[in-house]
Structures are given as C-alpha cells and as structure tokens.
Structure 1
Amino acid sequence: MRDGPSPATEGTETFVELARTGGARVERIASRAVSGGAWYEQGWAEFVLLVAGGARLAFADGTEHALSPGDWVHLPAGCRHRVAWTDPTAETIWLAFHLPAGPG
C-alpha cells in the first residue's frame, strides 16, 4: 500500500493505477471543479464507483447522471461520456474498474 497522489487542483483530474491483472485494471481518479471534461469512448467496459464528493456524467444523447458517494455506473464499451461537473468545494474521488472485453 502507498500514499495516494497529491490532491487534484481546481479544474483538473489525477489518475493513479492501483492494480492490473487478467486484462482488467483499477484506477483511482481525483478531480476538483471539473466542468465539461474531455469525451471518452473506450473499447472496453468500465464500472465507476464514486467514493467521495459529487459529480455529473454527461452522455452523447444529451442526458446527464448525477453521482453522490456510494453511487456507481456501468459504462459499456463504446459508451461516449464525459465528466460534466465535479464538486468545486471538495475533492471528488472515483474508483474506475476497466474491464477486459468478454467473449461475444
């Protein structure tokens, strides 16, 4: 076990890989006061758990999904999404589980 990364500064996100095995990996993401982040459209599924703070994810169809601590979302491969907002008053901490493509 190691100490975590430095806290995220306003308008930024930091990514730290915590584990990798069998094609899957786990990341700790810290963000603060992010709005309108970059779009992601990954070739793998991702399970995201919000640990602390608050956030909204935006999707290509124009919908948004608010997240509070303990909330989670499963993003299928190819799901176009981005961070629309994170709490400007406190660091938002996420655990992202990147899942390998299954048979199919």
Structure 2
Amino acid sequence: MFKQGNLFKTLPNARNHEVFEDLIKHPFVRIERIVSRGQTSPETGWYDQEESEWVVVLQGNAELTFENGESVSLEAGDHLNIPAHTKHKVSWTDPERETVWLAVFYPSGEIE
C-alpha cells in the first residue's frame, strides 16, 4: 500500500500549540511532522529520549538548547542528529510563521 501526502499542504493551525503528526510508525523507526509557531519547551525539564532523533527544519527557524549549555540555530534545510539520552529542549521557534520539522526516531546505537 502507498501512503501519499504533502508536508506543506493543509498545515495544521499551530498558533495555540505545537502539532505532532506521525507519518510513519514502524517498530524500528518513526517519522513525525512537527509544526511550531512560537512554541518552546517548558522552562523546566528536558527531552530525554530512549531513541535517537534525526531532525530537519523544512520551513521556518528554530533553536535547540542542550543540557551542556550548547545551542544550535536551525533554518530551512538544516538538520541535526541527536543521540539517545542527549537532554535537549526547543528554546525558540519563529513566532511570525510556521516552522515545519521532520523528525526521524530510530534505535540508539552507532551510525555511519
């Protein structure tokens, strides 16, 4: 079976809250579209995931901050691999337009 869609058509309204949508779910990989508009992670706490995450910003701008104090700014086309249990949070997303992310979650371990 084919599962077809368009990542930019019919974007959900993200003015009030970030929107997460699973595009593919498999025991070994999950692909998720995230739409943000000015949202950030809560002040306290960190994402601390069992799986590794590869993320790309397809549209808009964002910033991720890591527990070690490092920050990474992302704009359209920028991608980043986040190993499992690397504590991080979304510290900024563009409040003037949607930021569209594609996140690929996969089992932790060495990558090439």
Give TM-score scaled by structure 1 length.
0.88
Confirm whether residue 8 of structure 1 aligns to residue 14 of structure 2.
yes
Is the contact between residue 30 and residue 106 of structure 2 (CA under 8 Å) also seen in structure 1? yes
Q: How many pairs are equivalent?
A: 101
What is the alpha-carbon root mean square deviation over aligned residues?
1.7
Cα deviation, residue 62, structure 1: 1.1
Structure 2 residue matching 1:19: 3-state secondary structure: strand
- Alignment gaps of 5+ in structure 1: none
2:84 maps to a residue whose letter is: A
Is the contact between residue 5 and residue 16 of structure 1 (CA under 8 Å) also seen in structure 2? no
Cα deviation, residue 100, structure 1: 1.8
- What percent of counterpart residues are identical? 38
Cα deviation, residue 5, structure 1: 5.2
Partner of 1:60: 67
Is the contact between residue 51 and residue 108 of structure 2 (CA under 8 Å) also seen in structure 1? yes
Is the contact between residue 28 and residue 94 of structure 1 (CA under 8 Å) also seen in structure 2? yes
Give TM-score scaled by structure 2 length.
0.82
Partner of 1:82: 89
